[in-house]
Amino acid sequence: MTETRAMTQPAKLAGRRPAALRSTERRSSTAPRRSILLTIVMGLLALYALLPLFWLVVNSTKTQQALLSSFGLWFSGDFALWDNIVQTLTYDDGAFVRWFGNTVLYVVLGAGGATLLATLAGYGLAKFDFPGRRAVFAVVLGAVAVPGTALAVPTFLMFSQMGLTNTPWAIILPSLISPFGLYLIWVYAIDAVPTELLEAARIDGAGEFRTFFTISAKLLAPGFVTVLLFTIVATWNNYFLPLIMLSDSTWYPLTVGLNAWNAQAFTAGGEAIFNLVITGSLLTIIPIIVAFLVLQRYWQSGLAAGSVKQ
């Protein structure tokens, strides 16, 4: 009896060992593979993307004289970042601060309104069936394919006849239209918002507006934030439309205003303000970075909420 147990115990251990080895092999086969070549390529791409930002930070710390006499990719001379910031904010009676406020106005009304309209329209097209739905889909796809610069001149001609040029509405109203954002919400809402959930809410007596704001809006949060980020970046960096719409520097956004400073620096007899142009460019990208960091949290939380509800 003892010999039988002694013989069966190693057999059990021998039977367990291959299973453990198989589980180890399975884990090793599913582990992500590392590629030295891909790591090098990604490192070069990251360097290519971060090098202009590094150049901008380094040169924002230099004086006007140091910019003209030093190597652009390393620090030189006195640390003049704070002085450059003060000069940028106060130069030309605080023109930079005024342009910054204009840009924030265009982003809040233009990008915020475009995101809200795209969300409402995309949700309606995804969850409601009505005559002409396919025609609307074709129009939206066609609008996505048309670049915004191709519509700038016709928009200017139309707004000039309406007397809206050289006003904030010449920037805000065109920014309210986001065909790509509408298409993105449309595609996202098809799967993110279950039709059964909407039908259950209707059976319980909830109206369409209450259903949207209490149920659908939470499920559409990741798509909403994605479109919001796209529209914020597009409106913040908008240059060509304000350039042709605005002639009064009072309503300039940051992009057009900094370009005017840059042209002034290159003009014969103009004041050398390259340090202000560079420092202003650095200050311009900070709100975009902050917007990404802040909205990323709501993006991730929205994804988690949507997955739980589904």
165-182 pLDDT, tens digit per residue, is 999 999 999 999 999 999
How far the first Cα of the chain sits from its last, in Å, is: 58
Look over the chain and give the mean of its residue pLDDT values, rounded to a whole number: 84
236 vs 4, which has greater pLDDT? 236
pLDDT higher than threshold 70 for residue 302:
no
Within-domain flag for 274:
yes
Say if CB 55 and CB 246 are below 8 A apart.
Answer: no
158 vs 304, which has greater pLDDT? 158
**Residue 269 burial (CB < 10 Å; 0-12/13-18/19+)?**
exposed
The tokens describing 196, both together, are 């059964």
Confidence of residue 12 (pLDDT cuts 50, 70, 90): very low
- Assign residue 161 the CATH number of its domain: 1.10.3720.10
Say if CB 217 and CB 112 are below 8 A apart.
Answer: no
Write down the pLDDT at residue 299: 64
293 vs 6, which has greater pLDDT? 293
pLDDT > 90: percent of the chain: 52
Write down the pLDDT at residue 31: 55
pLDDT higher than threshold 70 for residue 235:
yes
184 vs 148, which has greater pLDDT? 184
Angle at which helix 179-192 crosses helix 221-236, to 10 degrees, equals 170
Write down the pLDDT at residue 68: 78
pLDDT higher than threshold 50 for residue 50:
yes
Write down the pLDDT at residue 23: 52
Within-domain flag for 63:
no
Q: What is the mean pLDDT of residues 37-62?
A: 92
Write down the pLDDT at residue 129: 86
Within-domain flag for 163:
yes
Within-domain flag for 134:
yes
Within-domain flag for 155:
yes
Measured CA to CA, the distance from residue 87 to residue 76 in angstroms comes to 19
- At 120-151, the pLDDT tens digits run 999 999 999 888 888 988 888 888 888 888 88
Write down the pLDDT at residue 29: 52
Say if CB 183 and CB 125 are below 8 A apart.
Answer: no
Say if CB 256 and CB 243 are below 8 A apart.
Answer: yes
pLDDT higher than threshold 60 for residue 11:
no
Q: What is the mean pLDDT of residues 200-218?
A: 89
Write down the pLDDT at residue 25: 52
The tokens describing 20, both together, are 């453990």
Q: 92 is in which domain, residue-wise?
A: 88-309
Structural domain count of the chain = 1
59 vs 69, which has greater pLDDT? 59
Q: What is the mean pLDDT of residues 25-36?
A: 62
* ∠ CA 175-180-184, rounded to 5°: 130
Whole-number Cα distances in Å, 74 to 43, 57, 61, 70, 80: 20, 10, 10, 8, 14
Range scoring the smallest mean pLDDT among 75-79, 122-126, 227-231, 249-253: 75-79
Confidence of residue 294 (pLDDT cuts 50, 70, 90): confident
Measured CA to CA, the distance from residue 194 to residue 153 in angstroms comes to 42
Within-domain flag for 133:
yes
Write down the pLDDT at residue 266: 77
Within-domain flag for 75:
no
Within-domain flag for 161:
yes
